[in-house]
Amino acid sequence: MTTRIDQRFADLKKEGRAALVTFVTAGDPDYATSLEIIKGLPKAGADIIEFGMPFTDPMADGPAIQEAGLRALHAGQTLIKTLDLVRDFRKSDDRTPVVLMGYYNPIYIHGVERFLKDAKAAGVDGLIIVDLPPEEDDELCLPAIKAGLNFIRLATPTTDDKRAPTVLRNTSGFVYYVSVLGITGTKAPDLKSVEQNVTRLKGHTKLPIAVGFGVKTAEQARSIAKSADGVVVGSALVNAVKTSLKAGKATPETAKAVHRLVSEIAQGVRS
């Protein structure tokens, strides 16, 4: 079964360019503004959208995404509302792939079978669950694949040739290569190391490889797009939300600030 993610990467391969994958926290700074941001991402240049599922203990995320998660939670965002957000987005966009990114705890509480059914019905295409290792594939990965969702795995600079086959075994959609060690958005990627590791991982998989963590500028995106099949931008967009707020609330500038930055980075990916 071909998913929207598979189709998008196949289309971009024909175009001869990398994908721009954009991450925003669902419900940040509030539901209505979050929907406005997400609806404008494809026009601004996003090829795939990751919705971050707010969680109280986001261990892999840096300060920017942690703060975004707290803003969303304080505004009343829940897992059910995140699925509602996908559903509302799908009313006007049936083509752009949507990935939910986050942690297993909210899914476990919702119930795996119920979650997969609800996610598929809402229009979700893939999952990135950062705290479920491949040794736990029976828990969510295999049921997700059976339900018709891509399960996207993270590979890191420490995913050596011995570990890579285990990590990639049940991965689908694309591989998310974490370009730096540590949490999101705190360091700039070492572009030479990224190129070497992407090339090495391509020896283990035919899946597209998208590179994220620390990408902030069009120039970085341009450099990464030379060797990778996709570039992921997250913390920079979440920071654009934060700097647009007044007293913690959305302003008319909030969605525009995110869309402007996506347009800039998209030009880097496309050049």
| SS3 label, residue 112 | helix
Active site residue 15: no
Q: Counting beta carbons within 10 angstroms of the beta carbon of residue 94, is it exposed (0 to 12), middle (13 to 18) or buried (19 or more)?
A: exposed
Active site residue 195: no
125 and 149 Cβ atoms separated by less than 8 Å: yes
Q: How many whole angstroms separate alpha carbon 128 and alpha carbon 100?
A: 6
Q: How many whole angstroms separate alpha carbon 180 and alpha carbon 74?
A: 30
Catalytic residue among 28, 30, 47, 50: 50
CA distances from 126 to 71, 74, 135 (A): 24, 26, 19
Catalytic residue among 61, 84, 137, 229: 61
Residue numbers annotated as active site: 50, 61
